[in-house]
Structure 1
């Protein structure tokens, strides 16, 4: 019970932190899109697709390795083993961070001119390469604090990073946007680089202070280097393939849209609206669930190490129940209020249309993130990577054929197909290695009917009250909150959420 209470407290800290960061992130994204436009957002998304591959090379599974190794040593009560494990993880991540810097820095002109087909991206790639070693080592510190259940350290680091990012980027945009679109992208990239380097030094100081508190108990971890390489290298190799395919996929999208018709500028703008404007709104509510996902790896790892299989099944059931109740509700809210969200946030009904169409992706994405964390905790990370690689290969084939024929509609079809394949394979792997089973009626059908009913009631209320159909930010917030309350009422009435479950959670929190 004490460990479950600690899990919930850490989850609450991460949820609050993630919510603050996502909220400021959405508003910050709106600010950036207003400064550099949809075309600039599209160009920025292209740059970040290459950078994501560089990050994969830099980290090379170091974050997961530090979480797993520290959690395993902690389960055996070996504090000396934790210190030795972290030394190896830092050396490992520093090596791959420097390797990633060299690869991106020296290949930036080729990537910008040949792969991205836009010389304006080269300067941004140079700048992004600088912070790769810092980002790589920082991931090991973050993994350490996650495994030690000292989530407040990571939370503070995220808030510090977000504060630096926003402050630096706003100042740089004011100075550089008048010089052109290329400099606008440089301002956003440079602001991000400064924040990531600042976050590294902050985490380094926290880690050094925390490390001094670990006693030298003489229980030295065994075979740490083989265990580190056994966790990190398979993940890294699979991640290289997965992220490489993902980069190819994102680079193919603008070219496929151009074949359907349209200038490079209009295609980049359309791509920017979907990936850089609509998707952040879809992903914003996941702040409430991301905490559980990040904490699942050490929690399940420790239970698996101690062979507590009944508790693992309980955690999995809890994760699915919370995920599905929440994501189905989010999907209904996004679909119902998409027009108002697009108008208030971006002043664009075109973006609003994309929000409505993409809303069901929330159910698939949110659940997939948590299932992947569960699989990693159960030492099934290779299976998770295999699923990602397979669905990316299918996506590339679909992009090749569908985008020239259907344009942006084809891209949306690919997004849904990709997520359906991934989540289906991941759930199947989870069912194969545990005794967990999905309760379709209780976890899917009941909440689906519940959110439909809640939305219908709110729409009826809006016809006869001051909320009306033309939403302001305040009335939209009230309507969404009212929908959530009615949805919760439906879940209680139908028995999806029972009084015993609520009492149990309250008891844990006390």
Structure 2
């Protein structure tokens, strides 16, 4: 199977799984709202920045780095090293996640009162902490399979996680109703734990049926531990760790930005002259109606970015510049065409979506404005994945950091003067900057390498 067919097949599988999961999640949010009420669902939503930040700290960077390194080893025919790297990464991330779990449990009250400003979130945070070790195992194995260009296991684990989460909440709550017990929204957090545990178990179990995995290895434990502690494997893991640090920092900063946006946008809208209720209404329409419409097609580009990273890393390891340039050119063209098509469709249908589906003329205006970022937003996802694939995690971190600064500036400088339009303008400018910088950097990066080869310097 050619590289193109592998990427297309993996993208299709991951995209299908993502669409199904989002479809199930839509009705699940409706169920939670009807069952526990909007106020309790609000408490439940408040803990997600903590959850996302925890994943960013423990395993998000390692997953991407592992995917790239595994792809590089596969290209060199070093399959055994990939297994040892996976095992070493799992030890590191699980250890880190256990520390984070204990930290969250110890400071749950402080996090709830100081960061979230809602003491009622404390019991939810205590339960949430148990998700981190399972998520660490899940993320590492996903990174391993992505590096092997195997999309089937990650897709099924995503569907299993979502299904178990929904069914467990429904089963526990129904059991309680039949026996006269009324559970709080904490049941939804128990569902998160069940989903992560099921996904981690499935991913571990899948290793047993994979021909060259750790669990099917015939060597003795002593020999395995000797190989695990060998100097070469330690060097490989340190290389992976160095590569993952910029990714982890970038993910943490992006997560902190999301938290900052959640608090800062309503506050700065009040500086613009709106009262508290109107500020929250505008923020709710923007984040709960308009942005989900813009981001829904990103399931496709996100899947494409996930599949292209190991392919880029493998071609880079083979030192085949021409092949890599053709791949990047095709993927970039596809993303731009998809983004342009979505932009046109959203511009034409913004009134229908906002008024008929959400019953909000304000949502129509926001969708119309945000539609212009689609060609840049969808392509940038792939550009960042390409940069990570060729080992330029530091450049990726710089781009994300500068993009964050643009968005923060739009919040604190533009919103008080121009209202929410200032923030929307900042979003558009940040995506344009990212697109232009990535495009120019990749163009000159490969042009420079080509000139060096022509001059006989490589």
Q: For this structure pair, what is the TM-score category when the shorter chain's length is used for normalisation?
A: 0.7 to 0.9
Q: Which residue matches 2:61?
A: 61
Shift of 1:98: 1.8
Rounded Cα–Cα distance in structure 2 between residues aligned with 1:127 and 1:345: 35
Matched residue, 2:392: 380
Q: Which residue of 2 aligns with 1:191?
A: 191
Deviation at residue 126 of structure 1 after TM alignment: 2.8
Provide the residue aligned with 1:70 in structure 2: 70
Partner residue, 1:315: 327
Q: Residue 58 of structure 1 contacts residue 99 of structure 1 at CA under 8 Å; is this kept in 2?
A: no
1:57-87 deviation digits (Å, cap 9, x = unpaired): 1215210122122212211212221221111
Distance in 2 of aligned mates of 1:279 and 1:191: 26
SS for the counterpart of 1:379 is: coil
- Looking at structure 2, the residues matched to 238 and 232 of structure 1 have their Cα atoms a distance apart, in angstroms, of 10
Note the 1:76-91 alignment, pairs <5 A: 76-91=76-91
**Which deviates more, 80-89 or 25-34?**
25-34
Q: Which residue of 1 aligns with 2:440?
A: 428
Aligned pair in 2 of structure 1 residues 193, 415: CA closer, same or farther (>3 Å)? farther
Partner of 2:453: none
Name the residue aligned to 1:328. 340
1:165–1:192: 8 Å Cα contact kept in structure 2?
A: yes
Q: Match of 1:359, SS? A: helix
Offset at residue 267 of structure 1 (A) = 3.6
- How far apart are residue 118 of structure 1 and its match? 2.8
1:307 Cα shift?
0.3
RMSD across aligned C-alpha pairs, in angstroms? 3.2
1:475 match: none
Q: Specify the alignment match of 1:445 in structure 2.
A: none
Going from structure 1 to structure 2, the CA distance change for 1:258 and 1:381 (only over 3 Å counts) comes to same
CA distance in 1, matches of 2:374, 2:243: 30
CA contact (8 A) 2:98 2:133 kept: yes
Q: In 2, Cα distance between the equivalents of 1:188 and 1:389?
A: 34
* Unpaired segments ≥5 residues, structure 1: 177-181, 437-510
Greater shift in the superposed pair: 339-348 or 226-235: 339-348
Deviation digits for residues 366-397 of structure 1 (CA, Å, limit 9, x no counterpart): 11111111111111111111111122123223
With over 3 angstroms needed to count, the CA separation of the structure-2 counterparts of 1:75 and 1:288, relative to structure 1, is same
| Residue 256 of structure 1 pairs with residue 254 of structure 2 | no
Distance of aligned partners of 1:202 and 1:272 in 2 relative to their CA distance in 1, 3 Å threshold:
farther
Q: What residue number does 1:452 align with?
A: none
Q: Which residue of the other structure, out of 291, 294, 301, is the alignment partner of 1:289? A: 301
Alignment of 1:87-486 (within 5 A): 87-169=87-169, 183-184=184-185, 186=186, 188-210=188-210, 211=213, 212=215, 223-262=235-274, 264=276, 266-435=278-447
- Deviations 1:245-267, CA, capped at 9 Å, x for gaps: 44334332232234345555554
**CA distance, structure 2, for counterparts of residue 418 and residue 36 of structure 1:** 38
Question: Residue 42 of structure 1 contacts residue 276 of structure 1 at CA under 8 Å; is this kept in 2?
Answer: no
5+ residue gaps, structure 2, are: 178-182, 449-458
Partner of 2:9: 9
Seen in structure 2, the aligned counterparts of structure 1 residues 172 and 318 have a Cα distance that, compared at 3 Å, is farther
Q: CA deviation at 1:214?
A: 6.5
CA distance in 1, matches of 2:47, 2:281: 14
- After superposing the two structures, state which structure 1 stretch, 376-385 or 119-128, moved more: 119-128
Q: 1:190: Cα distance to partner?
A: 4.1
Shift, 1:32, TM fit = 5.3
Please tell me whether the aligned partners of residues 135 and 200 of structure 1 are also in contact (alpha carbons under 8 angstroms).
yes
Within 1, Cα distance between the matches of 2:339 and 2:413? 31
Q: How many residues align?
A: 430
Distance change in 2, residues 1:41/1:426 (3 Å) = farther
Q: Contact 1:22 / 1:287 at 8 angstroms: preserved in 2? A: no
Equivalent residues of 1:246, 1:392 under 8 A apart: no
Alignment-derived partner of residue 52 in structure 1: 52
Q: Secondary structure at the match of 1:199?
A: helix
Query: d(CA) in 2 for partners of 1:214 and 1:324?
Result: 44
Show CA shifts across 1:413-441 (max 9, x none).
332233223333222322232249xxxxx
8 Å contact 1:245–1:393 — kept in the other structure? no
Q: Give distance in 2, aligned partners of 1:2 and 1:342.
A: 43
Q: CA separation in 1, counterparts of 2:273 and 2:39?
A: 16
C-alpha distance in structure 1 between counterparts of 2:311 and 2:439, whole Å: 19
Change (3 A) 1:196 1:271: farther
- Deviations 1:318-352, CA, capped at 9 Å, x for gaps: 11111111111111112211232234543444333
Summarize the Cα distance change of 1:264–1:126 in structure 2 as closer, same or farther, 3 Å threshold: farther
User: Is residue 45–residue 272 contact of structure 1 (8 Å, CA) maintained in 2?
Assistant: no
Contact 2:62–2:241 (Cα < 8 Å) also in 1:
no
Is residue 294–residue 373 contact of structure 1 (8 Å, CA) maintained in 2?
A: yes
Distance 1:158 1:429, change over 3 A: same
The 2-side partners of 1:382 and 1:19 are apart by 32
